[in-house]
Homo-oligomer: A and B are copies of this chain.
């Protein structure tokens, strides 16, 4: 017998996920104006239900409220990318240090290595590769054993995905060569927290610069 307690999913959560993925995949571009009535019709739910989902996305930093409460999709500029990545770096280096201090160190590093391999195997598939990259960094935070850290990192995930989308997937992909991640893992194996932090910080800064530059160029082109 295999009668499992079946999952109950609220319409609110479905809206939330649908909207979130629509935004993070670029279906709905930054700056786009979201009209409650239109969206609720499109989803086939009431406005109240949709509103609760939108409030959440607002707090996640995917939406911003303009004048009179009108929500639109967040636009992230080159300065903010740098800000985001500084905070992100701080969190992930903490995670790496915490992992190094644990008794299950080896096992955790192995799991990270597995994820890095998976990334290498996906070479060529853009969206899946990005997914795997985010997965790697999320796993890093997860394995730290500090749930608050993971949750905090997650609040950055939305904006980061918008960055990647805005900058263009090809450009973002340069940051995700599996080889780069192997270097991080190697550093962790050496049990040297400071060096690991340095490698990770370096990795992050390069990524941030590349993304920031891409957004900057776009802004310039926009001007003309």
- Tell me the A residues contacting B by CB distance below 8 Å: 10, 48, 51-52, 55-56, 59-61, 69, 80, 83-84, 86-87, 90-91, 93-94, 98, 146-149, 151-152, 155-156, 159
Instruction: Judge whether B146 and A156 touch: CB under 8 Å.
Output: no
Q: Could you tell me the distance in whole angstroms from the C-beta of A90 to the nearest C-beta in chain B?
A: 5
Within 8 Å CB of A98, what residues of B?
A: 86
**Chain B residues whose C-beta falls within 8 Å of the C-beta of A87 in the assembled complex:** 91, 94, 146, 148-149, 152
User: Min CB distance, A191 to chain B, in Å?
Assistant: 20
A174 to B217, CA, bound (A): 51
CB <8 Å contact, A94 and B86: yes
Question: What number of copies of this chain does the assembly contain?
Answer: 2
Q: Give CA–CA (A98, B56) in the complex, Å.
A: 30
The answer to whether A10 touches B56, judged by C-beta atoms less than 8 angstroms apart, is no
Bound together, the chains give a CA A184 to CA B52 distance in angstroms of 42
Chain B contacts for A48, CB-based, 8 A: 48, 51
List the 9 shortest-distance A-B pairs measured between CB atoms, nearest first: A83-B148, A83-B146, A90-B94, A48-B48, A84-B148, A90-B90, A59-B59, A87-B148, A52-B55
Closest to A145 in B: B83
Complex interface: chain B residues within 8 A of A60 (CB):
59
Q: Chain B nearest CB: distance from A214 CB in Å?
A: 18
Per the bound structure, the CA–CA distance linking A60 and B60 in Å amounts to 10
Chain B residues near A83 (CB-CB < 8 A): 146-149
Extra contacts besides A52-B55, A155-B155 (11): CB < 8 Å: A52-B52, A59-B59, A80-B147, A83-B148, A84-B148, A86-B94, A86-B148, A87-B149, A148-B156, A152-B152, A152-B156
A134 to chain B, nearest CB (A): 17
Which residues on the B side are within 8 Å of A156 (C-beta)?
148, 152
Give A148 to B69 CA distance when docked, in angstroms. 22
